[in-house]
Amino acid sequence: MVPMRPELLKGHLDALLLAVLEAGPQHGYAIIEAIRTGTNGTLDLPTGTVYPALHRLERAGLIRSDWHTVGGRRRRDYQLTRAGWTALREHRAVWDEFSAAVTALLQVRPRPSTA
């Protein structure tokens, strides 16, 4: 597998987190695991990246969190807000356009014959 450089994620982390939460409320660790398993291990994001990014999305009003007590431990579950659903749709549209454009240029083409 070609190693994935972390800077490639820049600008797409919000979309990934919103996409994972589309399935329903989840806690931070489950979100990290969902990204890892959902990308077959290609994106194994560090804790110090995902949790602060979730806090920022909450500050922006795109997700909200609720605390529960489970087995005597406090747990924070995140879920999409109405603005989060809208942002996810917009991210998807932008990504579809962007990836189609990049794929059109990067796809392997037969080399022109020099003969």
Window of 17-25, 43-51, 95-103, 105-113 that interacts with other proteins by CB under 8 A? 43-51
4 binds other proteins (CB under 8 A): no
Distance of CA 50 to the CA centre of its chain: 9
Among residues 18, 49, 48, the alpha carbon closest in space to that of 34 is found at 18
Strands of the 26-27 sheet, one edge to the other: 26-27, 73-80, 63-70
Counting contacts by CB under 8 A, is residue 10 touching other proteins? Answer: no
| Contact with other proteins (CB under 8 A) among 11, 42, 75, 102 | 75
CA 90 and chain centroid, separation: 14
Binding stretches for other proteins (CB under 8 A): 27-30, 32, 46-49, 51-52, 55-56, 59-62, 70, 73-76, 83, 87
